[in-house]
Chain A
């Protein structure tokens, strides 16, 4: 047992050979990369040739918690999954909450590195420091809920926690996700398809091994401090009451809510799918992840159906982006994504792309904006790869390009954009255009200062001065993702809080500057990997619509996204050359060469 917040072991599951090797967690890895996303990107860099096919045998999947996962720190529950994304082709890492990350550590593991490919379906069992592969033939074809129930029943132990794929992952839909506890998702980038390509159906964790911090007394002091900050923070209070979908109205009232595949940025019926309406209608109760005191999760019931969510992003994507104002249809679609294991951003936005193309006559299909019934049918077809669903399973960019209209794909690096229009939020546009995993909002959430006013209000319509904010947010987010903390803590906490938590937990003394440097190291490592996969300046951009077609209403009327005014500043600040390649000096400074 270690006294540093870590479980102390990493399991290496070789699916081709059918065995698992267990080794101690390397001290230098902890020091340089903390955990989570840092571990994942380092393993990917060290073990996988950048030319590797994301769905090929040689890609890997890394499940990794952080030292703050499961130590009882408020909102310390996350684990990350890192791999080469089959959707974007980038080195990606995505995280999920719930309980699985904590349980993985209680089972004795900081990380699981999955390599190779099995000829038959398997699942991996982590149990009190032991790990073994088991036959999953009877689980293949099951939904995520069925899979979870079957494994728990098989083991006869309700304390077991399961992360698994559904039929979407088995069918290698390029944006299939991984689901733990039936409703928590490693959503973006298609990690579920990679898992399916390896014939790995699930990972289950059981255990009650202790997780000990280096300085328990000091950790308790810092815990109380951060708990007070989170509890007293007005933003966190609103998250508890209305969930993340409380954003629908404020984003809409700012005229930056992408509507009908980003053709406009204001949805007149937004109130019908808002967090306020959800709370007043289908919300049964709120729910939190392990050790959460915010509990932003939504447990919803309607028409005999029970599920969790929708969160803001799928609420927007199945709602306004598809021109749909039926909250129950949106929630139903979200439940389908959870059951089948689909990314609830890329799936609906790919459907929105089809809706626009069908309306414009670019493809022959009866779907139109606002057709909720048709949208639900398309989801099923995507999962099963039936009919046009087989083409949509490749994501909007490949689909739109196939039919000669790539401009209809609202994506960056082939990954669909989230729920904000960059034409009215210039800094956010830079953050998502330069995101090292493609279209994204959580790798640098500039919405916080530019729309929500936290930690301070920045004018969303100007480009000047945005590059330093983007860089800092990206680096801090990478460090938070490595630590095991939920990103939502960043509305209330600052870099000094995370640094103090890491110091007390791990015994590795750090400060805000040291923490940001670790984040910068992770960001640059991910960037370097992408460069070796052929990404460059040409890819750090947004769809032509956002560059050339001005918004028509609201305060940003007449504006396009002006990335060209910010990109050089951003590269210079990062110590990168004009093509976006980290300089030799920068790589040496970060210990990357």
Chain B
């Protein structure tokens, strides 16, 4: 189901130190056919400092950054080219650990 013709709605969540530069949770409308890559272009344009916290270089995540689409790490989907679908939840984690 799409909204506004060719736009879809997703939820974006950020955690830990990423909350220092962006909202903890937001709902966004993106173009149908959008990918994780295009989402990050938009997010990094919107939130100053986010790009350097996530990326080591163009298209390359920093070590131990984890991006989940509905609980699945995008590394095991199509990486940055993973398509977004209506109702998706994207969870973004900086390097972290515990135990």
Cβ-based interface call for A380 (8 A): no
The segment out of B2-10, B26-34, B39-47, B64-72 that lies at the interface is: B64-72
Inter-subunit contact B19/A447 (CB<8 Å): no
Docked Cα-Cα span, A249 to B98, in Å, equals: 11
Which residue of chain B has the shortest Cβ distance to A247 in the bound complex? B98
Inter-subunit contact B68/A234 (CB<8 Å): no
Q: Mark B71-99, 1 if CB is under 8 A from A, else 0.
A: 11101100000000000000101111111
Residues of A within 8 A of B97 (CB): 235-236, 238-239, 246-247, 448, 452, 454, 488, 491
Inter-subunit contact B15/A249 (CB<8 Å): yes
Could you tell me which residues of chain A, from 307 to 350, have a CB within 8 Å of some CB in chain B?
311-313
Cβ-based interface call for B63 (8 A): yes
Residues of A within 8 A of B68 (CB): 253-254
Inter-subunit contact B71/A235 (CB<8 Å): no
Docked Cα-Cα span, A555 to B13, in Å, equals: 17
Could you tell me which residues of chain A, from 345 to 363, have a CB within 8 Å of some CB in chain B?
none
Q: Is the interface of A mostly helix, strand, loop or mixed?
A: helix
**Cβ contact of A246, chosen from B13, B16, B72, B76, cutoff 8 A:** B16
Residues of A within 8 A of B73 (CB): 254, 453, 457, 459
Residues of B within 8 A of A454 (CB): 63-64, 95, 97
Known contacts A234-B64, A250-B93, A453-B66; decide if A243 and B98 are in contact (CB<8 Å): yes
Residues of B within 8 A of A255 (CB): 71
Known contacts A250-B66, A253-B68, A459-B76; decide if A235 and B95 are in contact (CB<8 Å): yes
A-B contact count (CB 8 A): 105
Residues of A within 8 A of B17 (CB): 237-238, 241
Inter-subunit contact B99/A254 (CB<8 Å): no
10 A-B pairs whose Cβ atoms sit less than 8 Å apart in the complex: A234-B62, A238-B16, A239-B97, A246-B96, A253-B68, A313-B99, A441-B99, A448-B97, A453-B64, A487-B99
Residues of A within 8 A of B93 (CB): 249-250, 253
Of A234, A244, A442, the most chain B CB neighbours within 10 A belong to: A234
Docked Cα-Cα span, A254 to B98, in Å, equals: 15
Q: Mark A487-522, 1 if CB is under 8 A from B, else 0.
A: 110010000000000000000000000000000000
Docked Cα-Cα span, A457 to B73, in Å, equals: 9
Which residue of chain B has the shortest Cβ distance to A239 in the bound complex? B97
